[in-house]
Amino acid sequence: MRSTRRSAVLSSVLLLLTISVLGLGSGEHAGAAKLPLAGLTIVIDPGHNGGNATYPSTIARLVDAGGFLKACDTAGTVTLSGYPEHSFAWSLSLTLGADLKAAGAKVVLTRTNDHGVGPCIDERAAIGNRLHADLAISLHGDGGPPWGRGFEVIEPGISVSRRNDDRPILHHSYALGAALRDALQSVPQLVPSTYLGEHGVGLRTDLGGLNLSKVPKVLLEVCNLRNSADADLAQSPEWRQEVALALVDGIERYRGVVRSPTTTTVSPTTTTTGS
């Protein structure tokens, strides 16, 4: 009995020593340290807002979009059956936010409901900047030609307001875009855009939300809401969950890339990939 008890005590001491060496002190910290996105602050920017269409003069107000003026926002597109883009963006953002939190990230949305007006594109970028977020992702559904399908990850280009010291942000945005593009290939029935960009990725300098971002950011047109097959997918909660999980996977891939010292050599995805 005595030797059994002694060995049990010894085992406990060894376990405590192991926990101490691994730095797994408090229970909460131990759990957080194991989560893949622990320590990241991620801004989700759900495109448009449900009240934008009701206040056209408000969202037509011109704001700085990165060295030029552009409307505060638009009302977004709508499927042929009447499902609006802002609802899609909002639903997907809530799903993605929950999944990212479950993976350990701190998540902030640029709007708090789907019936308000705004915020404008400049403020959407400013929210991520003020937080010094690790990354931001803007979620939209495109209003493309009815025959076109698929997703496009839009990366920021060198807009007129960009300065040399913004280059690391652009490079990180390209790494983020590539990681998300790769991860999205696993979503059932989702294809790289058949009418936009190149292999599911595009580069734009006319989007204020990207131009003004001082943190790595991409804008995702998840699918073409004017295409009936894509529109059916967009209205499925199960499919949106698949998209969200792929995005979480992509962000985990991105985190692995930016930890590598080769990050600064990453170029726009559109010009460097042949896949």
Residues lying near Zn ion in the complex (CB under 5 A): 47, 76, 140
To Zn ion, the closest distance from the beta carbon of 133 in angstroms equals 20
Nearest distance from residue 85's CB to Zn ion, in Å?
5
CA distances from 176 to 20, 93, 274 (A): 35, 17, 17
Under a CB-based contact definition with an 8 Å cutoff, are residues 128 and 216 in contact?
A: no
Cβ-Cβ contacts under 8 Å for 72 (sequence gap 6 or more): 58, 59, 60, 61, 62, 63, 118, 120, 121, 122
Helices (H), 185-227: 208-211
- In the bound complex, what is the minimum distance in angstroms from residue 264's beta carbon to Zn ion? 31
Closest to Zn ion by CB, 76 or 175: 76
The dihedral over CA atoms of 210, 212, 217, 221, expressed in degrees to the nearest 10, equals -20
Q: Which of 85, 123, 221, 242 is catalytic?
A: 221
CB nearer to Zn ion: pick between 47 and 150: 47
| Residue with tokens 């970028």, as numbered in its chain | 125
Choice between 47 and 84, CB closer to Zn ion:
47
Encoded tokens for 240: 């949106």
In the complex, what is the shortest distance from the CB of residue 221 to Zn ion, in angstroms, rounded to a whole number? 7
Of 73 and 182, nearer to Zn ion (C-beta) is 73
85 belongs to the catalytic site: no
Measured CA to CA, the distance from residue 193 to residue 201 in angstroms comes to: 8
CA 202 → CA 157, 173, 198, distances in Å?
Answer: 9, 12, 6
Q: Which residues are catalytic?
A: 221
